[in-house]
């Protein structure tokens, strides 16, 4: 009975074992899978068996953890060793939900004191970042100490709360494994031996790095080298990656060929001197990347030259979100520059919320030699703010203050310049620029301008369509001095429109003289128009007085219009002068009027014959009703056919060429009233009647003016009466023997008066007078000759003939009597 029971129990146990082996896979998944899922591990496949040596042989096992998939095949395990033939790991992005719902925790590994060691003959890691699988071999020489060979060389030690070890990486591995642009990596070479540690929450790397990157732009070779200790940490829960490159020494070197990138020009030599070939850059503070947010607290770039070149560039508080880099970027920049040619340049900028702002300060001892100008002690400073850069609809404003002590360019010498420029633009692309300038003086050859103030403003819309810029300007000049003329209080107000061409209008006041100028500048033409509004001639006195201090305009108006083309050097003009009176010393001209028109063409000025009128001219004598003509032929101006009334008669000037050094002008007189030639008053007791005519040829040359072979003769009979003249009577009393002769002159009918006139360029006048007449009471013929010589200043002096005759008679007979 007992034997039968034993057999039955044995059969049952054997059946259970056989059933358990046959249904081992469902039983393991039913029993093991729930336990793995509690740890976040999903077991999707498992196939194992027992060998004849009672070793467990796993044909295939499939595990997944946080979207990472591991497939293991060919596992042989016993109490001493676990050998894995092949393992394949697919690295996929972590799902956001898993990262948020299952935070990582500090490792808490229950490491047994005794367990089988592990060997993985081939571990293949696949990732979207890799262009081929990463193949590794893992061995465990001692318990919990692993050695990795293959594409990576590393060693790691497993503790109950962390994993730490050593890792070696070089550039060849990156080029072979990672999906990157090999053209960018071709110049990269580096070696790094890193100590790593991982505690389940945070991973860290620290080790030596030697790296060099060579890049070439055309013929310019650029080399960046880095050497030192690099540290990195990564926190799984907050996904914070932090790099510590503060102990790296970084250098950038440019070859001399880089200077060839600067185009051949006048400024190349200057630019080459300012371009350092050696630089140092550093990241003195750790860099962090959290949730796509990259923070770089400090970046420095410094020139590394053995000369006076000193360039420092510093970036601080740099931040960028790698998903939206343009919208999120912010940074501060400070740049300082000092070289042999540049005294100082300081730039501070800030970029934040798509807004760029900053200020700058520039100082130069002098301008670079390549510029066609010279200047001393140049300073510039300003600030700017620009917003909405990301939307390409910039809105902002800028300001610059500029000054220099002195400058010279194209023959101009400038001193004491200060300028203030302001610019702004709104969301509708309406832009406005205003420049205010002050200049103490400008010298050009013999011309000098002082106290110049200018305000220039421009506004335009820079949106789509043709650009139209509206211009406004106001210029004030205190004085303009030159060898020929000085001008004061010059004021120019200008408006203009710039599109395909410039249309401008200028309202000008010069010494109170008003002008309006309009012009149109294009690629093919430059037409202009100058309008002189009708205005008082009194405003011209300040200009005329510089040429003739004794001259003064007392009344009248003038105006006109000039139009033409600057490019063609051609202009038409007409000018009007009306009812103008002028005073020169004690000479007076009343009511001068004329209206003339002409042309200027390629340097030649022409004015058609134009009539002018002068109502009256007082120059010791009264000349009135003067009429004549003026014309200009190829820059040669002359007055001709000038006629007028003088001494009750008429005179005529045939022609006189202005600005012609050598010429002859003929003046003729007709029907002159001899009585009006007398300069004595009515109490003198001398009267002269009759009519005279004459001809005076004026010869002009470099030495002055002369009259040669001039003549005055009588027209018809005249009369000379001398009565109650004390001087004449005194001569007769003193020279009683001459009384008969002198008495004949007291009542003389003039039959002939003939006088020659000679005027030297030094002012000496010589008159040869022959007087023939008849004394009716005495029935006596009289023939009287005399020569008169005197230094005179005007021709009118010679016309006072009767006075000269009387005085000469008195003088001659007085001398004879003595």
Range of weakest confidence among 111-125, 126-140, 548-562, 797-811: 797-811
pTM, two decimals, is 0.69
φ, ψ of residue 212 to 5 degrees: the values are: -145, 140
pLDDT at residue number 798: 42
pLDDT at residue number 18: 41
- As a three-state string, the secondary structure of 131-197 is CCCEEEEEEEEECCEEEEEECCEEEEEECCCCEEEEEEEEHHHHHHHECCCHHHHCCEEEEEEEEEE
Residue 757: burial class (beta carbons within 10 Å; 0-12, 13-18, 19+): buried
Range of weakest confidence among 170-184, 718-732, 741-755: 170-184
Within 10 A of 646 (CB to CB), how many other CB atoms are there?
21
Indicate whether 685 pLDDT > 80.
no
Average per-residue pLDDT in the chain? 82
Within 10 A of 20 (CB to CB), how many other CB atoms are there?
10
Question: pLDDT tens digit string along 425-444?
Answer: 988 888 999 999 999 999 98
Crossing angle, helix 2-22 and helix 24-38, to 10 degrees?
60
pLDDT at residue number 620: 58
DSSP secondary structure letters along 671-731: EEEGGGG--S-GGG-EEEEEEEEEEEEEEEETTEEEEEEEEEEEEEEEEEEE-S-HHHHHH
Residues in contact with 306: Cβ distance below 8 Å, sequence separation at least 6, in sequence order: none
The residue whose two tokens read 């009387």 is 806
- For the chain, the structural domain boundaries read 1-39, 668-817
Percent of the chain at pLDDT > 70 equals 86
Indicate whether 795 pLDDT > 80.
no
Report the pLDDT averaged over residues 401-413.
Answer: 89
- Chain centroid to Cα 586, Å, comes to 55
Question: pLDDT tens digit string along 77-105?
Answer: 887 888 889 989 887 765 554 445 467 78
Q: Taking a C-beta distance cutoff of 8 angstroms, is the pair 41, 18 a contact?
A: no
Report the pLDDT averaged over residues 545-550.
Answer: 81
pLDDT at residue number 32: 52
Question: pLDDT tens digit string along 108-142?
Answer: 877 788 888 889 999 898 887 777 888 889 998 99
Question: pLDDT tens digit string along 498-528?
Answer: 888 888 999 999 988 999 999 888 888 899 9
Question: pLDDT tens digit string along 47-69?
Answer: 777 665 657 788 888 888 767 78
Tell which wins on pLDDT, 538 or 546: 538
pLDDT band at 804 (very low <50, low <70, confident <90, very high): very low
Indicate whether 236 pLDDT > 60.
yes
pLDDT band at 545 (very low <50, low <70, confident <90, very high): confident
Report the pLDDT averaged over residues 700-727.
Answer: 85
pLDDT at residue number 377: 92
Indicate whether 813 pLDDT > 70.
no
Report the pLDDT averaged over residues 763-770.
Answer: 81
Largest CA distance in the chain: 219
Q: Taking a C-beta distance cutoff of 8 angstroms, is the pair 151, 173 a contact?
A: yes
Q: Taking a C-beta distance cutoff of 8 angstroms, is the pair 599, 606 a contact?
A: yes
Distance CA 752, CA 782 (A): 10
Kindly provide the b/e burial profile for residues 422-436, where b requires at least 16 CB atoms within 10 angstroms of the residue's own CB: ebbbeeeeebebbbb
Indicate whether 805 pLDDT > 60.
no
Distance CA 553, CA 691 (A): 35
Percent of the chain at pLDDT > 90 equals 32
Residues in contact with 813: Cβ distance below 8 Å, sequence separation at least 6, in sequence order: 731, 735, 738, 742
Indicate whether 482 pLDDT > 60.
yes
SS3 content of the chain, % helix, strand, coil (to 5): 15, 60, 20
pLDDT at residue number 167: 86
Question: pLDDT tens digit string along 332-343?
Answer: 999 998 888 888
Report the pLDDT averaged over residues 592-599.
Answer: 92
pLDDT band at 562 (very low <50, low <70, confident <90, very high): very high
Indicate whether 686 pLDDT > 70.
yes
DSSP secondary structure letters along 499-539: SSSEEEEEEEEETTEEEEEEEEE-SS--EEEEEEEEEEGGG
Indicate whether 412 pLDDT > 90.
no
């Amino acid at each position: 009975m007992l034997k039968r029971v034993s057999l039955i129990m044995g059969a049952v146990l054997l059946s259970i074992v056989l059933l358990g082996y046959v249904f081992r896979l469902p039983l393991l998944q039913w029993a093991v899978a729930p336990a793995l899922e509690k740890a976040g591990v999903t077991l999707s496949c498992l196939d194992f068996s027992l060998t004849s040596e009672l070793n467990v042989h796993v044909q295939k096992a499939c595990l997944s953890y946080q979207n990472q998939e591991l497939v293991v095949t060919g596992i042989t395990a016993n109490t001493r060793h676990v050998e894995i033939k092949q393992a394949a790991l697919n690295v996929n992005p972590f799902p956001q939900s898993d990262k948020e719902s299952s935070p990582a925790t500090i490792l808490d590994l229950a490491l047994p004191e005794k367990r089988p060691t592990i060997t993985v003959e081939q571990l293949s890691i696949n990732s979207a970042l890799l262009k081929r699988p990463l193949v590794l071999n893992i061995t465990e020489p001692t318990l919990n100490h692993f050695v990795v060979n293959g594409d990576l060389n590393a060693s790691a030690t497993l503790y109950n709360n962390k994993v730490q070890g050593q890792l070696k990486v070089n550039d060849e591995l990156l080029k072979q494994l990672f999906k990157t642009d090999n053209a960018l990596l071709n110049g990269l070479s580096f070696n790094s031996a890193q100590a790593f540690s991982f505690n389940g929450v945070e991973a860290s790397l620290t080790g030596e790095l030697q790296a060099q990157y060579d890049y070439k732009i055309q013929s310019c070779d650029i080399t960046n080298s880095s050497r030192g200790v690099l540290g990195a940490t990564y926190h799984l829960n907050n996904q914070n990656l932090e790099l510590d490159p503060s102990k790296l020494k970084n250098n950038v070197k440019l070859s001399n060929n880089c200077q060839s990138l600067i185009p051949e020009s006048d400024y190349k030599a200057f630019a080459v001197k300012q371009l350092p070939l050696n630089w140092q850059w550093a990241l003195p503070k750790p860099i962090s990347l959290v949730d796509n947010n990259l923070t770089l607290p400090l970046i420095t770039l410094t020139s590394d030259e053995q000369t006076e070149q000193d360039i420092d560039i510093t970036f601080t508080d740099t931040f960028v979100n790698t998903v939206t880099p343009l919208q999120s970027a912010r940074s501060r920049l400070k740049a300082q520059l000092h070289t042999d040619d540049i005294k100082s340049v300081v730039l501070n900028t800030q970029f934040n919320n798509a807004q760029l702002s900053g200020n700058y300060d520039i100082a130069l001892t002098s301008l670079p030699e390549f510029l066609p100008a010279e200047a001393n002690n140049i300073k510039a400073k300003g600030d700017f703010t620009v917003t909405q850069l990301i939307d390409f609809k910039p809105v902002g404003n800028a300001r610059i203050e500029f000054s220099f002590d002195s400058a010279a360019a194209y023959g101009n010498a400038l001193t004491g310049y200060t300028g203030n420029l302001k610019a702004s633009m709104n969301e509708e692309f309406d832009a406005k620029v205003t420049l205010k300038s002050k200049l103490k003086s400008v010298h050009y050859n013999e011309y000098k301008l002082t106290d110049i103030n200018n305000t220039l403003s421009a506004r335009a819309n820079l949106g789509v369509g043709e650009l139209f810029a509206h211009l406004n300007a106001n210029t004030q000049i205190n004085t303009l001095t030159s060898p020929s003329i000085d001008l004061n209080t010059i004021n120019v107000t200008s408006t203009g429109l710039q599109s395909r061409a410039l249309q401008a209008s200028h309202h000008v006041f010069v010494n109170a003289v008003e002008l309006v100028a309009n012009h149109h500048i294009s690629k093919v033409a430059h037409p202009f128009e100058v309008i002189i509004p009708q205005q008082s001639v009194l405003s011209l006195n300040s200009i005329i007085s510089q040429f003739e201090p004794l001259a003064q305009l007392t009344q009248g108006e003038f105006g006109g219009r000039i139009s033409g083309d600057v490019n063609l050097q051609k202009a038409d003009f007409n000018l009007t002068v009306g009812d103008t009176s002028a005073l020169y010393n004690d000479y007076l001209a009343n009511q001068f009027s004329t209206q003339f028109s002409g042309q200027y063409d390629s340097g030649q000025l022409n004015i058609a014959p134009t009539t002018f009128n002068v109502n009256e001219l007082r120059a010791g004598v009264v000349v009135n009703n003067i009429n004549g003509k003026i014309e200009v032929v190829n820059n040669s101006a002359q007055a001709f056919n000038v006629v007028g009334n003088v001494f009750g008669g008429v005179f005529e000037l045939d022609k006189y060429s202005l600005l012609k050094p050598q010429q002859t002008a003929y003046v003729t007189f007709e029907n002159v009233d001899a009585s009006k030639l007398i300069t004595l008053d009515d109490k003198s007791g001398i009267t002269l009647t009759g009519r005279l005519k004459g001809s005076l040829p004026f010869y002009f040359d470099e030495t002055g003016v002369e009259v040669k072979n001039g003549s005055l003769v009588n027209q018809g009979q005249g009369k000379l009466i001398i009565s109650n003249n004390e001087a004449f009577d005194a001569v007769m009393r003193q020279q009683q023997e001459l009384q008969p002769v002198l008495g004949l002159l007291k009542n003389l009918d003039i039959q002939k008066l003939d006088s020659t006139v000679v005027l030297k360029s030094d002012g000496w006048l010589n008159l040869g007078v022959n007087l023939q007449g008849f004394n009716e009471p005495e029935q006596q013929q009289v023939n009287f000759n005399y020569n008169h010589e005197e230094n005179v200043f005007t021709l009118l002096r010679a016309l006072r003939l009767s006075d000269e005759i009387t005085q000469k008679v008195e003088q001659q007979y007085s001398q004879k009597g003595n």
